[in-house]
Structures are given as C-alpha cells and as structure tokens.
Amino acid sequence: MFEYDFMRNAFAAATIVALLSGSVGYFLVLRGQTFAGHALAHVGFTGATGAVLIGVAPLWGLVLMTVAAGVAMGFFGEHLAQRDVAIGLVLAFALALGLLFLHFYTAFATQATTLLFGNVLAVDVSTVYTLLGLGALSLAILAIISRPLLFASLQPELAEAKGVSLRLYGVLFLAIVALTTAECAQIVGVLLVFALMIGPAAAAQQWTSAVTTGVLLSAGLALVEAWCGITLAFYTDWPSSFWITALSVAVYLLAVLPRRLRALQPV
C-alpha cells in the first residue's frame, strides 16, 4: 500500500498528529479539561467554514479560531467552577458565527463533511509539512512547560505559593490544545477529535502510574490506533476516521473493563 503517494502522506500526517495528540491528551485528561478539547473542536469548525467562505485554506481558519478560543478560555476560566460557564459561552458564540457563515455560503456540503469527519487519505504533501511545523512547535512548547504545568495541574494552591502562575500555564496549555485540535481535525475531523486526543490518554492513565511512562504510552497508543485505522481503511474501503475511532474506543474499553468487572465480582 506504500506505493501510493496518498498513503505515504496519510501515514506521515497520522504519525505527526498521533504523537502530538497522545502527549497533549495525557495532560488534558489529567487536568480534567476534556470538555475543553471537545469545545475547541466545535469552535474550530466555525473557523474552518469561515476560512472557506473568504477563500483561505480551512486549516488556517481552524488554527486561528481554536487558538483564539483556547486563549480566551484560559483567561476567563481560571477557577474550575467558572470554567464550564466560560467554555459554554465561547462555544455558543462560535456556533452562532458558524450559523452566520452557513447562511452566507450554502454550497459546501462536501467540504463540511470533510471538516466534520476528516479524510486523512486526502492530505497532500504541503499539508504534511504544515502539520509537521505546527506539531513540532506545539510539542516543543509542551516539553518546555511540562514540569510547571504538571505541578499546577496536580497541586494548584501549592504551585501558586511556589511562584507558578496558574493563569499563564492555563492559557499556554489551552493554546497548545487548540493547535492539537486543529491538527487532529485534519485526520479524524472536528467531531471525532476525542478519538485521538482523549481515548489513548484515558487508556494510558488506567495502565500506568507514572507520568513519563503515561505520556509515552498515550502517544504510542495514539500512533498504533492511527496506523492500524488507516491500514484497515485501505483494505476495507471503510472511512479511516471510523476505524481510528473504533480502535480508540476498543482500547479504552480494554483498559477500563477488566477492573470494572473485577470490582463487580463478589469477593
């Protein structure tokens, strides 16, 4: 299957995105902000449709809109109690904008399907390079801030007392999540971003008890799920986003179910 250009592009794109989303997802699950990832993906749809409307590549609309929304969420939602409200408001406004764009431009049904559900087999070489650049940037920022970010996630009050700015790292992290969401949307579409960003990370947290091995396992699982998903799509001709999502769900169930079943059994 590697004799085809589109397959080589698909594997390259999936590799970059899986490594990034697996690592970022670990922190997202640890911080209990998975809903933020979900919301950013929806906001990204609005950005992408807006970009198409003005004749720009949808990826840049995605990037711009998700990063702006992520930073806004980070600034307004410092406390857990307020976070849901902040995300909800940003989400509502973004969807309203999306409605407006659809109102102005009604002829892009196929474009909309690609944005919503992704099509990794349609990724071209220049997109792969863009994904590589954005992915390397995001991973580098995450690596640089990972220690204070971990501290602020696990012990916010203590981190604050030790001089860690909760707001700064909250904003920076959501900006990284936003970039990751935009990258993920290229592979599985905005509606299925959860499959690559949350599924492997949540499974990895069930199997590991240390942060470093957890992040590595999460990235590894995302990579295997993406590769296998594309391979299965190639041989079955079913959509790759379906296979990636199905594998992600299966791996998560595999991580969670044995312990749940054991808990149910009488001692």
**Residues at the contact surface with another protein, assessed by CB under 8 A:** 29-30, 32, 79-81, 143-148, 150-151, 153-155, 157-164, 202, 205-212, 214
Minimal distance in Å, beta carbon 81 to another protein?
5
Classify burial at 76, counting beta carbons within 10 Å of its beta carbon; exposed 0-12, middle 13-18, buried 19 or more.
Answer: middle
Burial of residue 5 (number of CB atoms within 10 Å: 0-12, 13-18, 19+) = exposed
The DSSP annotation for 70-88 comes to HHHHHHH--SHHHHHHHHH
Cα–Cα distance for residue pair 134/51, rounded to 1 Å: 18
Q: Please state the closest distance from residue 40 (CB atom) to another protein, in A.
A: 20
Task: Output 124 or 147, the one with its CB closest to another protein.
Answer: 147
Identity of the residue, 22 or 214, whose beta carbon is nearer to another protein in the bound complex: 214
Closest to another protein by CB, 109 vs 261, is 261
Residue at token pair 């396992």: 217
For the chain, what is the largest distance between any 2 Cα atoms, rounded to a whole number of angstroms?
64
> Which CB sits closer to another protein, 138 or 240?
138
- SS3 string, 203-250, reads HHHHHCCCHHHHHHHHHHHHHHHHHHHHHHHHHHCCCHHHHHHHHHHH
Which residue lies nearer to another protein by CB, 135 or 214? 214
Q: Is 266 left (phi over 0), alpha (psi -120 to 50) or beta?
A: beta
- Closer to another protein by CB, 153 or 181: give it: 153
**Taking Cα atoms as reference points, which of 174, 213, 201 lies closest to residue 43?**
174
Q: How far is the CB of 181 from another protein (least distance, A)?
A: 21
Cα–Cα dist 247/154, whole Å: 30
Q: How far is the CB of 97 from another protein (least distance, A)?
A: 32
Residue 102 vs 145, nearer CB to another protein? 145
219: CB partners within 8 A, 6+ apart: 18, 19, 22, 23, 26, 200
Cβ of residue 75: shortest distance to another protein, in angstroms? 18
Residue 266 is encoded by which pair of tokens?
A: 């009488």
Nearest approach, Cβ of residue 71 and another protein (Å) = 20
CB of 202 to another protein, least distance (A): 7
